Amino acid sequence: MPARPLVALCLALAALSACEERPPPPVVAPKPPAPPPPPVDADTEAPPPPLDDAPGNVLQLPEHVAAEEATEGDGLIALMLDDPARAERALHRLPTPDGWQVALMANFTLKRGERAPEAPKESQLPALAPDAGVPAAGADAWVAAPTLPLEGPAAKKGRRPTTLLQLPINTRVTVDAVDGARATVTVEVASEVEYGETGSAPTRVVAKPVQGTVDAAWLARAPVTAEALVRDARAQPDTPEGRDAAVVLWHRALLVARSELAREGLLRAAWQARRPSWVVAAALTRNFAPARSAAIAFGCRGDVARAKWLPEKDTPPKKVPDDVCLTDVDARPACDFESKKRKASLEKRAAWRQALGVTERPLLRLVVDAREPRAVLLAGSHLAFHDSCAEFEEVDLESHAASLRRLVLPLGTKDTVLRVPVPQYHGWEYAVLSAPSETRAGEWMRSRSRYRWTIGRRGELQVSLQPQDQSFELEPDASGVTVATPPARHCECNDD
């Protein structure tokens, strides 16, 4: 063989050998992980940001500048996310609204349960059912639909089955049997949930199994993540069909993540798909569950899960349960200038509590509708006297040291009981907020701290709003339920 071709062949073999020896790009990130390569062109999409936009236990309350009123484009989107009620008022003030603005106003009206003949008809969105095969009996599965009815047997022969529960997306179930298109499954439903002094996840859950049948086509072998749904939504083509599919995927991402970033993504996707009903639905979505009732105990004895919540009175009951929590306790020390009657009452109550053996372990009990995968947004405010020497019925209070805590809810019932240890009993207000967003919740907390409080003649606490307080424009139901106890007074006054 001539020398020149032989040299060329050797060089080719060496190059091929070098290519084979170079390892291929790994599928998972190497250790240590290399930084992602920069986008090669303007069309390359950046990875979606994490959808959990407030992972901490105590949420911060940065100063918030409300979105300026606008009636079109990005300005109206920002206003809808910040304050949908204000956005609707801005639309109604338009002298000559266009067709899109009329459709948005009509859907706001429909959401309130009122008639709106101007509301346009919208076509059905695609179903986008999972295509992973039905899980086998004995395996775990996860709900892949936004909601999946769990049906029990029919009450009477020939009647439709009874719907036991609406299973939200990503609910974990155990597949007991598969019969064609139907699957018999068992799901755990929480009746009592306990939390620690810190952290957002429950520390103890008391659940009961519920068995029923579901549509097997909507069961998946693994849970879906919000990040995967967002990637799929962003990968949809810019066509009518692709924009509709993006709305479906962003909606499921919102149901999974329950975050403000996902809510904004759904609103923008619905805006692009020209679906006013979904735009308004995203604007009005609340990621936090309201509470049906709230009560705070001064101290408990025995098992709090079985405890009877007993209001303290001037005349204690003769027989007290072994497991008890005391509510409505007035444990403030008496001042020298107070009446002998109140001093005697306080001493009597204190002696009874000591004999009972309860200690000051403040515990908050909430009854919450936990049938959706939401969270409870618990707010706390420290109350202090503005004028400790004023008359008791007319004393002013100040609210400060506000904090927010998110409690993640497991799937439960409409009357799931939550128990949360709280740091203070006297001088604290605890409120469950159901504001449209954490931004609005923070604004609600800051507004509360700007107003004085009043103790009524029966000892109840109320915000002292005056007619000139025009800046208090927050939704009246931003706080679904509130419980508070009066703070202790400074005994530095006299009765002159």
What are the sequence ranges of the domains in the chain? 140-220, 291-484
**Pairing outcome for strands 182-194 and 412-421:** parallel
Residue matched to tokens 């959808």: 51
Provide the terminal-to-terminal Cα distance of the chain, rounded to the nearest Å: 122
pLDDT tens per residue across all 496 residues of the chain: 444 444 343 434 333 333 333 333 333 333 333 333 333 343 444 455 556 544 445 555 555 556 667 777 888 998 898 888 889 999 999 999 999 999 999 999 998 888 877 777 899 999 888 876 778 889 999 999 999 999 998 767 777 888 999 999 999 999 999 998 999 999 999 999 999 998 889 999 999 999 999 999 999 999 999 999 999 999 999 999 999 999 999 999 999 998 889 999 999 999 999 999 999 999 999 888 888 899 999 989 999 999 999 888 767 777 888 899 998 888 877 777 777 887 888 888 888 888 888 888 899 999 999 998 888 989 888 877 766 666 554 456 666 667 788 899 999 999 999 999 998 888 888 888 877 777 777 777 776 665 666 666 555 666 655 444 444 444 444 667 888 887 777 776 655 4
H helical segments located in 357-491: 438-449
Residue that has been written with the tokens 């009765």 in this structure: 495
Would you state the structure tokens that stand for residue 365, as one six-digit string? 């009990």
Q: What is the DSSP string of 40-89?
A: SSTTPPPPPPPS-S--SSEEP----PPPPP-SSHHHHHHHHHH-HHHHHH
Q: How many CB atoms lie within 10 A of CB 378?
A: 23
Please tell me what DSSP assigns to residue 117: T
Other beta carbons within 10 angstroms of residue 247's beta carbon come to 26
**Burial status of residue 398 (CB atoms within 10 A of its CB: 0-12, 13-18, 19 or more):** middle
The beta strand positions in 396-467, using DSSP E, are 396-408, 412-421, 428-433, 453-455, 461-463
CA-nearest of 256, 242, 255 to 282 is: 255
